[in-house]
Amino acid sequence: MIRYISLIGFLLLVLGGGLLIGYFNTPGIWHEQLIKPGFNPPSWAFGPVWTILYVMIAVAGWRLWQQNPKSPESISWWNQLGLNFLWSPVFFTAHQIDLALIIIFLLLVTIVFIIIRTWRTDRLVAWLMVPYAAWVSFASALNASIWMLN
């Protein structure tokens, strides 16, 4: 029972944190005025994608924490969460497109590290992180394109 209470805690932390970050760091007029590449998705797509990803991220983090909260993989999971939560305020609120690009690159490296490290020991964690890596790769390309165009 305690095991599943901790899963609920991870879900609340990741989903709740993501919702709060999104609520307090909305794209706004500044973002609307930026020149964006042709592959920029519609605004409505981000909410559903991030909701699904945050559930997957939470389950992966919970599994890593259950196995060993002090492992390099678990520590990296916390690092990626911090970088993830940092990106929106830097990009949308501080309007620092270049710094956001550095953050998202570090985020991607951290996610890939988790996938590589868990591939043999917990394939489910690795697979839960793969769509996240794909989305962050896409978001990195989008961030880089917006930086170059503006």
pLDDT along the chain (150 residues), means of 10: 91 97 93 97 94 98 97 98 98 98 98 98 98 98 98
Q: How many other C-beta atoms are found inside a 10 Å radius of the C-beta of residue 123?
A: 10
Q: In whole angstroms, what is the distance from residue 14 CA to residue 62 CA? A: 11
Which pTM does this prediction carry? Answer: 0.95
Burial 38-61, CB ≥16 within 10 A → b, else e: eeeeeeeeeeeebeebbebbbbbb
Going by CATH, does the domain composed of 2-149 fall within 3.90.1150.10?
A: no
Q: In whole angstroms, what is the distance from residue 54 CA to residue 122 CA? A: 19
